[in-house]
Structure 1
Amino acid sequence: MTMRLFAMFLLTMLLAVPAWAAQVFEGKVVGISDGDTLTVLTDQKQQIKVRLYGVDCPETKQAYGTRARQFTSDKVFGKRVRVEVADTDRYGRTVGIVTAPGGSVLNSDLLAGGMGWLYTAYCKKPFCRDWKKLEEGARIAHKGLWADAAVPPWEFRKADRSGGGNWGSVQGVPSASSGKNSYAVSGGSYSGNTDSGIFHASTCRYYNCKRCTAHFSSREAAIQAGYRPCKVCRP
């Protein structure tokens, strides 16, 4: 093979692999923090904490938090997995896509099983549209957390940080005494379009759009989740 042909071959191989998946490693899962976070022991005996890309599972203190953690444990604990690295988060954790033995992808399995939300604000890869369909399928079928009124974990975390985490029911929905941090059991004052990432006020004509399935109790909560204000209603 000539140097020119070899260079062309090398370039073709590089273009065939997405840049975000350039780093791949394998190892044994030795720890499960919660449904979307696990620890992998590599062949080099290095322990790497992995945050699942594009998925946000209920916090441990929330309803279905324990079930989501058990779901992940049943799938991969003690097993050898493949991790495609997508990013590093602000806490220094590896953010990746985890493939379990047999080829199933843990990230999408959690969504299909109703054990987590698609983290729309951060899931920007082309396949995220397919993952959104899995989430919607679980919601329509009332699987897992979709069987009850559940607060998205990003809202739960915000309320917990601000001292408003007075959770009044096993579904993780705040009680009426939670004050300004309380959330509606269904719906909300603001809705977010999970495709466009834009949120609308309840008075906006786009509030009940087809993809407006994310609901927030406040403007700040919508922005915290990564959504942008509608330019029509200017919420």
Structure 2
Amino acid sequence: MILNRIVFLIILSFPTFLFSQIKAKVIGIKDGDTIVVLLDGDQQKTLRLAEVDCPESGQPFGKNSKQFTSNEVFGKFITYFPTDIDRYGRTIAKIYYDNEKYLSEEIIKNGLGWWYFYFSKSESLGTMQKEAENKKLGLWIDAKPISPWEWRKISRER
């Protein structure tokens, strides 16, 4: 009986947004892993894609990554599942489109972003990244691509 109450209280304490499924229209692409959506009531919201980190805009393949994301979802209705809030206040979300394609997965499979293993437990995304590397897709054509987190670190040190 006490255990049931504890489990019930734990479930109630989780933010409801972690379990929400939200539909929205993509109205902007900030970069390969950040989009802007239009919600009901004409409210705009910036979403940071979960589990992937794309090259920065000044980094090799940054423009390619942004263009890929734009080609995939701009102007379309998507379904997203919020997973967290980042340090900039953006909602981190798993984004699905076109009959349940997972956007982060598509970016990684096409060699236009890194599996963000630090924030993801999905080993399948790591496998997809290795396949893109082996096929020399996208940014993996570069002999020594620099991950976005390393690029940001180097940029801060300058």
Cα pair 2:32 2:68 within 8 Å, conserved: yes
1:23-60 deviations in whole A, cap 9, x for unaligned?
Answer: 22111101101000000101232111000001000000
Give the aligned partner of residue 99 of structure 2. 102
- 2:158 pairs with 1:160: no
Paired residue for 1:135?
A: 129
Structure with higher helix content: 2
Report the Cα distance in structure 1 between the residues aligned to 2:118 and 2:106, rounded to whole angstroms.
Answer: 19
- 1:102 is displaced (CA, Å) by 2.4
Runs (4+) of structure 1 exceeding 2 A deviation are: none
Map of 1:41 onto structure 2: 38
Aligned residues with identical type, % of pairs: 38
Trace 1:73-88 onto structure 2 (pairs within 5 A): 73-88=70-85
C-alpha distance in 2, partners of 1:82/1:45? 17
CA contact (8 A) 2:22 2:81 kept: yes
Structure 1 residue 160: Cα displacement: 0.8
Higher relative contact order (CA 8 A, sep 6+): 2
Aligned mates of 1:120, 1:131 — CA distance in 2: 9
Q: Structure 2: which amino acid aligns with 1:144?
A: G
User: How many pairs are equivalent?
Assistant: 144
- Which structure has the greater CA radius of gyration? 1
**For 1:29, which of 19, 26, 29 is the aligned residue?**
26
Q: Show the 5 A alignment for 1:1-235.
A: 21-124=18-121, 128-148=122-142, 149-163=144-158
Please give the TM-score of this superposition, normalised by the length of structure 1: 0.59
Inter-partner Cα distance in structure 1 for 2:80 and 2:23: 6
Structure 2 gap ranges (5+): 1-7
SS of the residue aligned with 1:61? Answer: coil
Task: Give 1 or 2: higher strand fraction.
Answer: 2
Distance 1:61 1:78 in 2: 25
Helix, strand or coil at the partner of 2:146: coil
Preserved contact between residue 111 and residue 129 of structure 2 (Cα < 8 Å): yes
Q: C-alpha separation between the residues in 1 aligned to 2:35 and 2:68?
A: 12
TM-score by length of 2: 0.86
1:60-111: CA deviation from partner (whole Å, max 9, x where unpaired) = 0011000000000000001100011111111100001110122211010000
Report the AA paired with residue 58 of structure 1: P
* Structure 1 gap ranges (5+): 1-10, 164-235
